[in-house]
Structure 1
Amino acid sequence: MTQNHRFVIFDILDNDPTARAMAEGDEAGALRLLVTFAEEHKIRGDVWIAYLCRLLSGTDNVFTRTIEREGSCGPSLERLARSDLAAVATWASSGPAVLAAYEPSTPSGTKTPSSGTSPCGQAYTASLAAMEQALHTGASALYDALVRHLSTLGRGVSARHAALAWSDGLVGVETFDPIDLDQLVGIDTQKRMLVENTERFLRGEGANNVLLFGDSGTGKSSSVKALVNRYCRDGLRLVELTKHQLGELEKVLALLADSRHHYLVFLDDLSFEEGELGYKRLKAALEGKAAVTPANVLFYATSNRRHLIRESWSDRTDSDEEVHLSDTMQEKLSLSDRFGLRVVFPSPSQSTYLAIVESYLERMGIPFTETLRMRALQWELAYNGRSGRTARQFAQSIGRI
């Protein structure tokens, strides 16, 4: 097949070693790669069909980018894409017979990646299953299924994963916390502010970058993760960066700008010490310069500090040499002011702390007796003080969540 067709849009033979091995008749090499793929992804059924569908849906080219952004393309581009897909549909029938009804090894107790059971992962799996069925039907059905996949889920790693990290490119987070907003007790005001801002963002309305600050363990990070779990089906994605990766921020933002998804760039436990300059790049992005920050990106940061850059005593000491002392201090204090929405997470009161404990125990099926109430108060005094994290740790000491 491949000898008679020159791929124009889907240059899979140039960029994919498995497809190239199949095209060149390297059966042993192709089998090795396909079996590895089947085991890693727990593929059941026709491995070659499954591989081709993942290859097509993850390919970055002018057609997949256009469909992801617009939902359709012009007739000339469509004609070229259909020609390539017709060749793929013919090729699909020539897969290795030994892999046509594959059963992967799943040892007892082995868990598949959590991304496959998340709402985002479930939608991805269902869409790929539809593509595989379409490929069995023919080229026209494959084209329609691929367009549906790209226009609803997008392409690449963001199609499967709600949470992403940066490591010389976007990589999926396989074990993302499944926390739900309803599980976070005692922070209703904070949740409402975050939900309203995030929903405006998803609707394309005016939304703000957010700084969540307060004591450790009060639910800041969990709130952001819960937002992503709630809205991932609506196209919300999280990209976690460390402050040490801010030097690559422009590269990250340029990549995100080309996607249909809405991204929260998540900076957890953010603060800067004296002499660190990464805050300047972040500040430029927060100021919304058109060349830096795309419209489908917001920054959500958590910190234990209201002001993100530590002040030194010399900043506050008069000095003849420091002509612009006030300017220096304002420069350091202004970063947090660039977040349009600042949400405070205070330490919970005793009654709220106990309510959080009770909510965890309730999910475990454990009654919150007076004895457990007293033990929870003793735990708070002995370990880390009052916080949602302390409440969770106490519940974990009683039984498994």
Structure 2
Amino acid sequence: MMRLNVRGLIVCRDFLSDPLLQAVMNFVSDPSDEAAAGQAAGQMLEKAETLGLSGNVLRQYLLYLLGEGNNIAAASIEYSGTFDTGLEQAMLRDMNILWPYLSKKPSDFMTYTLFDAYKPAYPRTYPAIAALDAALGLCAGPAEAAQIVLHHYTVHGRGKLAKYIAFRVRESGELVGIESFPYFDWADLIGYEAQKARLLSNTENFMAGKDCNNVLLTGARGTGKSTAVKSLVCRYAGLGLRLIQIGRGQLAHLPEILEKLCNVKSKKFILFFDDLSFDENETEYKYLKSAMDGGVTPQPDNVLLYATSNRRHLLKETWHERRDDMEEVYRDDSTNESISLSDRFGLILHYAAPTQEEYLQIIAHELEKAGVSLSKEDLRIQGVRWEMEHSGRNGRIARQFVKWYLGNKK
């Protein structure tokens, strides 16, 4: 039976305090200790089920720990976006220690064989860790493996930034990864070609480190404004793009969030404000104004702000503010304040309600994805009837029709 000894690690020091690795090391130091054997097996079972690890649990767990990146190498790369020979040498030392264990089965260290090809009740896939697993599976030895791990931190990041592509914000200001963020395909966005081209170009410039603008997508409801933003993170997640949705009531956390993201040079972030608008007496919008331009906490180069709204100027305007009998100075002040927030978005894209032809194209596209094809006449009759029974036509209503049709007709 092999001995598991990782006490010489200098980068991955967090491994030494890991309960599972401690339990396995305690057992292999005295294989006759039945209590230690049970403790090690229990810890491995708990990790396999909790994390949904399949196959060789020891290898998958070591990869999981590497992917979490609770070490100085991952932290340094997260801050700087790169690494040099110092980290290369340190990681090489660690990989010389870890490499044998990445190719061994749990039964080489324990008397249990069930963890060699384990099947959890709920298997989980971690895309970043799967990429690391595949890359290490092709390398020749520790030297190449050290480079792969460091490159992994550069591309994928560490911890929840590697595990998730989209986040929400708790009331405390903490980022929370969205477990089952749906995949939105850019190709599924029908119509609005000019708006999509400008949005895509702006985002590509952002990813390439070129000059770009904050974006306001405004216009009719249900026209795919939010879906367009979400599809961008699906398109560019592999290049390091992450989406963070911030609610209107959480704008006070913006300076703190910007400061944190400024220290994550290995990633790009879109702060997403969905269905953003403010009524007359609300002042939270001032946090957003300050964050975009004029505040002491500048907007970092790796952060863009994308917002959607049904209001062109975001702040509610009334006819009272446009009265001709108001003193000019006050009317101008009111008008300037109303448009001052939207002015801070360098790119404003307007989404009008779709034409009937565009509305029917959306329905046809979604039905074809499900393997259903309707004649043009049948599509027009049923689509228009659905539109008249609902609150007009837009992409949302088109997709609601598709759900109804597939559920009742297919």
Superposition TM-score, scaled by structure 1 size: 0.84
State the Cα deviation string for residues 322-365 of structure 1 (Å, max 9, x = none). 98564344223211110100111110111211121121222222
- Deviation (angstroms), 1:320: 9.9
Moved more, 323-332 or 154-163: 323-332
Contact kept in structure 1, 2:8 and 2:97, CA below 8 Å: no
Match of 1:183 among 170, 188, 205: 188
Percent of counterpart pairs with the same letter? Answer: 35
Match of 1:73 in 2: 84
State the Cα deviation string for residues 190-245 of structure 1 (Å, max 9, x = none). 11111111111111111110001111110101111122222222222211121222
Match of 1:335 in 2: 341
Match of 2:293 among 282, 287, 293: 287
Q: Does 1:376 align with 2:387?
A: no
- Deviation (angstroms), 1:391: 0.8
* SS of 1:342 mapped into structure 2: strand
What amino acid is aligned across from residue 162 of structure 2 in structure 1? Answer: A
Structure showing greater Rg: 2
Structure 2 distance, partners of 1:65, 1:343, is 37
State the Cα deviation string for residues 277-318 of structure 1 (Å, max 9, x = none). 321221122127684321111011111111212235665579
Q: Does 1:37 align with 2:47?
A: yes
**Unmatched segments (≥5 aa) in structure 1:** none
Match of 1:9 in 2: 11
* SS of 2:217 mapped into structure 1: strand
Match of 1:389 in 2: 396
Structure 1 distance, partners of 2:335, 2:97, is 64
Q: Does 1:58 align with 2:68?
A: yes
- Deviation (angstroms), 1:8: 4.3
What amino acid is aligned across from residue 387 of structure 1 in structure 2? Answer: N
Contact kept in structure 2, 1:240 and 1:265, CA below 8 Å: yes
Q: 1:81 to 1:384 in 2, by over 3 A?
A: same
**Unmatched segments (≥5 aa) in structure 2:** 28-35
Match of 1:164 in 2: 167
Match of 2:32 in 1: none
Match of 2:155 among 139, 149, 152: 152
- Deviation (angstroms), 1:176: 1.9
Match of 2:178 in 1: 173
Match of 1:242 in 2: 247
Structure 1 distance, partners of 2:271, 2:129, is 22
Match of 2:146 in 1: 143
Match of 1:105 in 2: 120
Contact kept in structure 2, 1:53 and 1:132, CA below 8 Å: no
- Deviation (angstroms), 1:186: 1.6
What amino acid is aligned across from residue 311 of structure 2 in structure 1? Answer: R
Match of 2:238 among 230, 233, 239: 233
Q: 1:91 to 1:319 in 2, by over 3 A?
A: farther
Q: How many residues align?
A: 388
Moved more, 371-380 or 167-176: 167-176
Give the aligned CA root-mean-square deviation in angstroms: 3.3
Contact kept in structure 2, 1:5 and 1:87, CA below 8 Å: no
What amino acid is aligned across from residue 239 of structure 1 in structure 2? Answer: I
